Amino acid sequence: MPRTDAPRVGVLALQGDVREHVRALLAVGAHAVEVRRASDLDGVDGLVLPGGESTTIGRLLRVFDLLEPLRGAIVDGLPVFGSCAGMILLARDVLDGRPDQPLLGGLDVVVRRNAFGRQVDSFEAELDLAGVAGGPVRAVFIRAPWVEKVGDEVEVLGRVGDRTVAVRQDNVLATAFHPELTGDTRMHELFVDIVESAKPWKKTVEGMGRDR
Ligand code: GLN
């Protein structure tokens, strides 16, 4: 069981590999909360956008009236971690997307959807990632996007060849691959650290914040 004061991290649960993210979050000691409607965001300290299909997730965000509440929460500084389809949703623009595909934004990047090829072109790679200690991370790419342009505020955390596949901008983290599928929970640990340092009570209650 997570500690009572452990961060509550939502997982957008409309489509995609929700269970795998929930499992990884529990493994790193966070509370995991499935988010299907705007009211599920109450009391959530951070949010994961899972891998899946960004066009489907986008359509369901519209159906469930989540698009504007989520855009607002991200603008207000809610920490978010997107993997694969989640990275696409966080981009400011998408190349090779569907024309009507809605994005949430939050990351000043342009991504190319399905950039590494089709389903049969899925692959794995060992990646050294900035901010992740303990050796390379095994990264699973499934019809993955890559980041084609990054804004000045965006930190590149990792590349495959010369293609950017992991980025961070303040409290927003995104990977073109699926850390939730490998059992290596270091990306989730990094995200939960971001969530813990962003927790409002830590900033506002003087002297009560923990050291990390
Ligand atoms: N190609 C998918 C999309 O456009 C992403 C694939 C994934 O999340 N594994 O959303």
Pocket of ligand 1 contains residue 101 by CB under 6 Å: no
Among 88, 90, 112, residue to substitute to test ligand 1 (most atoms within 8 Å of Cβ): 88
Is 205's pLDDT higher than 80? no
**Size (the chain), residues:** 212
Pocket of ligand 1 contains residue 190 by CB under 6 Å: no
Give this prediction's pTM: 0.93
pLDDT grade for 5, boundaries at 50, 70 and 90: confident
Among 18, 124, 142, 165, residue to substitute to test ligand 1 (most atoms within 8 Å of Cβ): 142
Which residues partner with 159 through β-bridges?
A: 164
pLDDT of 1: 74
Residues 104-117 pLDDT 10s: 999 999 999 999 97
Catalytically annotated residues: 84, 178, 180
pLDDT grade for 204, boundaries at 50, 70 and 90: very low
Domain ranges (residues) in the chain: 8-198
Cβ of 117: how many Cβ atoms within 10 Å?
12
Q: How far is CA 90 from the centre of its chain?
A: 8
Beta strand 91-95 with 137-141 is: unpaired
Helix (H, G, I), strand (E, B) or coil at 21: helix
CATH architecture of the domain with residue range 8-198: 3-Layer(aba) Sandwich (3.40)
Residues 89-104 pLDDT 10s: 999 999 999 999 999 9
Q: How far apart are CA 197 and CA 194, in angstroms?
A: 5
Residues 8-25 pLDDT 10s: 999 999 999 999 999 999
Residues 34-89 pLDDT 10s: 999 999 999 999 999 999 999 999 999 999 999 999 999 999 999 999 999 999 99
Closest alpha carbon to 177 in 129, 109, 107, 108: 129
Q: How far apart are CA 142 and CA 85, in angstroms?
A: 10
Average pLDDT over every residue of 137-165? 97
Contact (CB, 8 A) for 177 and 146: no
Contact (CB, 8 A) for 33 and 11: yes
Between the alpha carbon of residue 89 and those of residues 41, 57, 131, 170, 207, the distances in Å are: 17, 9, 23, 17, 37
